[in-house]
Amino acid sequence: MSAAVRYADVEVGTELPEQVFPVTRADLVRYAGASGDFNVIHWNERVATEVGLPGVIAHGMLTAGLAARAVTAWAGDPGALVEYSVRFSRPVVVPDDGVGAEVVVRGRVAALQEDQRVRVDLTVTSGGEKVLSLARAVVVLS
Amino acid sequence: MALDAGLVGRSYPPSVVYEVGREKIGEFARALGDPDPVYVDPEAARAAGHPDVIAPPTFAIVLSLGAGEVVLADPEVSIDYSRVVHGEQRFVHHRPIRAGDRLVATASVEAVRSVAGNDMLTTRVDLTTEDGEPVCRTSSMLVARGTA
């Protein structure tokens, strides 16, 4: 249970590898089943547009889960991610066009803390727009 | 309708025990497309120092979603669920959730706010083992968009 990244090897400004995650309607169905969040705006275009959305949108926690993947893949140990917080600032619209949407995750070390912890600030976009804000992870490094 | 600030700190009875299974963790990891073997392969998890497969860091949402329903069902929490969107989410892990855990969820109201006709309700869920070991704390902020 230890991260692959050493605390001594990072500094404020260290960047995480950028990750791009495709999100299709099938991914939304799968996430609905796995998470238990069956809100119709995540699978029904008619209802989504009736409530004023541009179309079916991804679960916020799916986007947040993908963003967390960028952190745990970098750290090399999912157990190293000890705190994680996000604000859902804009929905990820997932069109039914066989292509779907893309979620792009960038991250950088924003603060070095005690006990070999670092705070990673994430920039998460879809279609060029920020979809999460104040997305922050605290990771225990080796 | 504005939420009553007196709700802050209100706590609800603990949930029934949720038994975390390998299959449920694997299903959740696959839904995120995450190939990390510590989620699905007990040998890989043990090699990484865990007693069994561990759950992705956002898996706790599965339990907190269910546990938070008790708050929304409280007749004194006047929030229009049909107008609710997820505003913010936070997780603090004491240790990773893992297969075999028998977890109890205790929900409480952490904060209420009204801004520009929108009601915001923050529900906290504390996850512990049935023996009382703290495992994870989640905070979920829901926004009920005003009709004005």
Convert the pLDDT of each residue in A68-125 to its tens digit: 999 999 999 999 999 999 999 999 999 999 999 999 999 999 999 999 999 999 999 9
Tell whether A55 lies on the interface with B, counting CB pairs under 8 A.
no
Query: Cα(A84)–Cα(A124) distance, rounded to whole angstroms?
Result: 14
Q: What is the pLDDT of residue A37?
A: 92
| Residue among B58, B62, B63, B81 with most chain A CBs within 10 A, to mutate | B58
Query: Cα(A19)–Cα(A16) distance, rounded to whole angstroms?
Result: 9
Task: Give me the interface pTM, i.e. the ipTM.
Answer: 0.96
- Under the banding of pLDDT at 50, 70 and 90, the label for residue B147 is low
Q: What is the pLDDT of residue A35?
A: 97
One-letter amino acid at A81 equals L
Instruction: Tell me how far CA of residue B144 lies from CA of A29, B2, B6, B31, B72, in angstroms.
Output: 25, 10, 18, 28, 12
Predicted confidence (pLDDT) per residue in A76-85, tens digit? 999 999 999 9
- Chain-wide mean pLDDT for chain A? 96
- Under the banding of pLDDT at 50, 70 and 90, the label for residue B144 is confident
pTM of the model: 0.95
Predicted confidence (pLDDT) per residue in B81-132, tens digit? 777 889 999 999 999 999 999 999 999 999 999 888 889 999 999 999 999 9
Q: Which residue of A has its CA nearest to B49?
A: A1
Q: Which residue of B has its CA nearest to A85?
A: B90
CB nearest B93 (choices: A65, A82, A86): A82
pLDDT at A1 over 70: no
Instruction: Tell me how far CA of residue A54 lies from CA of A59, B107, B144, in angstroms.
Output: 14, 33, 19
